[in-house]
């Protein structure tokens, strides 16, 4: 077991830390106040640096590296701004992973290169108004009619809604209830019958486009079907890669909050002393570091496993759950260490705290991760409907 990064990984990490401090840091507070998603110029820069296809083979326009590299890059950027890191998350850990693992060669050749070049962003649309944690209750229906699927239904909380050029949509393809009838299909923006609800106003995640995705007799070519009915377990297996990206964001938020707290506690004075000289502050910094490092180790272990195809639901849920809960605790401590200034939008820690809450819910709540963990431990799933 080797805990050292290779020379190339260390160089990549150093380069992205420098890029983040120079390019992203000056933007972070602005983006929170005047929400806006990284624009085409940012996408071009990311594509030129090769960051949008780190994990994908060179033959599809990627860098042919591994998830450890994509995790390191996302982490370096998201410790300052998860928003700036999000296009890299979506490109390396989003629904494109489902296409890579379960699409046909033709589908891989069609969808992966434009993601790597930054020409398109693909979002995932699974959640519905009445199907979130209970995802297998989803009712959005796709019916084959000649050479097209006709889709009807409504999705909720889709990150990228209206902004992304393509959507991997979880749909019910047969009348079978539960997981059995579910598959996934790509729908391109601009397809007649596809529309979007108003942008959600969230407590955090400012700048992230998010909203409902609505299908009214929306016709898509049958070649866009990526996972046919009966493939729900495939969808959940490839979702491990998404959970890994989510874990990265939470770990990065821990790291960012810790960095800010270390700095501030040595600048701020109370009772004539730097506040870091008070043991109460030291204990909080230590607790923050304990959680950050533990979450980081789970993340790196999971990234290596994912690249080797051995990441289990147990481990990906443990990683996500621990990182999500840690990010909430660590950012709460950072706000506390900053005192009144921690509550002020002039400093980034309140934003980190708000963002941490969102990352915990997105991709399945910590409670649902614990349910996955317990089911894996005892080797059986429990029926929540009876």
Q: Which residues bind ligand FAD (CB under 6 A)?
A: 123-127, 132-134, 157-159, 202, 205, 358, 361-365, 367-368, 371, 384
Nearer to ligand FAD, 157 or 264 (CB): 157
Nearer to ligand FAD, 151 or 368 (CB): 368
Residue nearest to ligand FAD (CB): 132
Element (H, E) at 84: helix 82-93
Nearer to ligand FAD, 133 or 310 (CB): 133
Per-residue CA distances from 370 to 222, 319, 359 (Å): 37, 11, 16
- Nearest alpha-carbon partner for 112 in 226, 237, 26, 283: 226
Q: Quick check: 133 and 362 in contact, CB under 8 A? A: no
Nearer to ligand FAD, 125 or 191 (CB): 125
Shortest Cβ 208–ligand FAD spacing (Å): 7
Shortest Cβ 196–ligand FAD spacing (Å): 13
Shortest Cβ 163–ligand FAD spacing (Å): 11
Nearer to ligand FAD, 338 or 359 (CB): 359
- Where does residue 132 rank: exposed (0-12), middle (13-18), buried (19+ CB within 10 A)? middle
Shortest Cβ 359–ligand FAD spacing (Å): 7
- Nearest alpha-carbon partner for 363 in 240, 234, 254: 240
Q: Quick check: 185 and 225 in contact, CB under 8 A? A: yes
Cα end-to-end distance, the chain, whole Å: 44
Answer positive or negative: Cα dihedral of 70, 356, 168, 102: positive
Nearer to ligand FAD, 111 or 167 (CB): 167
Shortest Cβ 78–ligand FAD spacing (Å): 14
Per-residue CA distances from 193 to 17, 130, 158, 190 (Å): 43, 21, 17, 9
Shortest Cβ 11–ligand FAD spacing (Å): 32
Nearer to ligand FAD, 12 or 84 (CB): 84
Say which residues have a Cβ less than 8 Å from residue 84's Cβ, sequence separation at least 6: 20, 24, 27, 28, 31, 38, 42, 77, 78
Q: Quick check: 221 and 186 in contact, CB under 8 A? A: no
Q: Quick check: 153 and 122 in contact, CB under 8 A? A: no
Nearer to ligand FAD, 288 or 362 (CB): 362
Shortest Cβ 336–ligand FAD spacing (Å): 24
Shortest Cβ 134–ligand FAD spacing (Å): 6
Say which residues have a Cβ less than 8 Å from residue 8's Cβ, sequence separation at least 6: none
Tell me which DSSP letter residue 131 carries.
B
For 110, the token pair is: 């069609």
Bridge partners, 187 (sequence order): 167
Shortest Cβ 282–ligand FAD spacing (Å): 33
Nearer to ligand FAD, 75 or 355 (CB): 355
């Amino acid at each position: 077991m080797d805990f050292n990064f290779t020379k190339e990984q260390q160089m990549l990490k150093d380069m992205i830390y420098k890029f983040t401090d120079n390019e992203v840091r000056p933007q972070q507070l602005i983006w929170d106040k005047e929400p806006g998603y990284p624009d085409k110029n940012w996408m071009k820069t990311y594509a030129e640096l090769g960051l949008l296809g780190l994990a994908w083979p060179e033959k599809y326009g990627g860098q042919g590296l591994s998830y450890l590299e994509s995790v390191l890059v996302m982490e370096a950027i998201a410790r300052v701004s998860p928003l700036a890191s999000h296009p890299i998350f979506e490109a390396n850990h989003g629904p494109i992973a489902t296409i890579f693992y379960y699409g046909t060669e033709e589908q891989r050749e069609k969808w992966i290169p434009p993601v790597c070049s930054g020409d398109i962003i693909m979002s995932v649309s699974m959640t519905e108004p009445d199907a979130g944690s209970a995802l297998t209750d989803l009712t959005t229906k796709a019916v084959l009619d000649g050479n097209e699927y006709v889709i009807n239904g409504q999705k909720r909380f889709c990150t990228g809604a209206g902004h992304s050029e393509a959507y991997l949509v979880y749909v019910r393809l047969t009348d079978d209830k539960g997981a059995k009838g579910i598959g996934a299909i790509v729908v391109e923006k601009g397809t007649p019958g596809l529309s979007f609800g108003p942008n959600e106003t969230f407590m955090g995640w400012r700048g992230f486009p998010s909203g409902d995705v609505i299908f009214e007799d929306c016709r898509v070519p049958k070649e866009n079907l990526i996972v046919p009915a009966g493939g729900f377990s495939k969808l959940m297996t490839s979702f491990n890669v998404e959970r890994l990206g989510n874990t990265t964001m939470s770990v990065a938020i821990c790291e960012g909050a810790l960095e800010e707290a270390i700095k501030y506690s040595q600048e701020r004075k109370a009772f004539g002393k730097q506040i870091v000289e008070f043991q109460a502050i030291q204990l909080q910094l230590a607790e923050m570091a304990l959680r950050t490092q533990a979450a980081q180790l789970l993340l790196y272990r999971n990234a290596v496993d994912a690249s080797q195809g051995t990441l289990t639901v147990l481990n990906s849920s443990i990683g996500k759950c621990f990182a999500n809960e840690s990010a909430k605790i660590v950012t709460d401590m950072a706000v506390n260490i900053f005192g009144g200034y921690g509550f002020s939008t002039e400093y980034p820690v309140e934003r980190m705290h708000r963002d941490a809450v969102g990352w915990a819910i997105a991709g399945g709540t910590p409670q649902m991760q614990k349910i996955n963990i317990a089911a894996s431990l005892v080797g059986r799933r429990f029926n929540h409907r009876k």
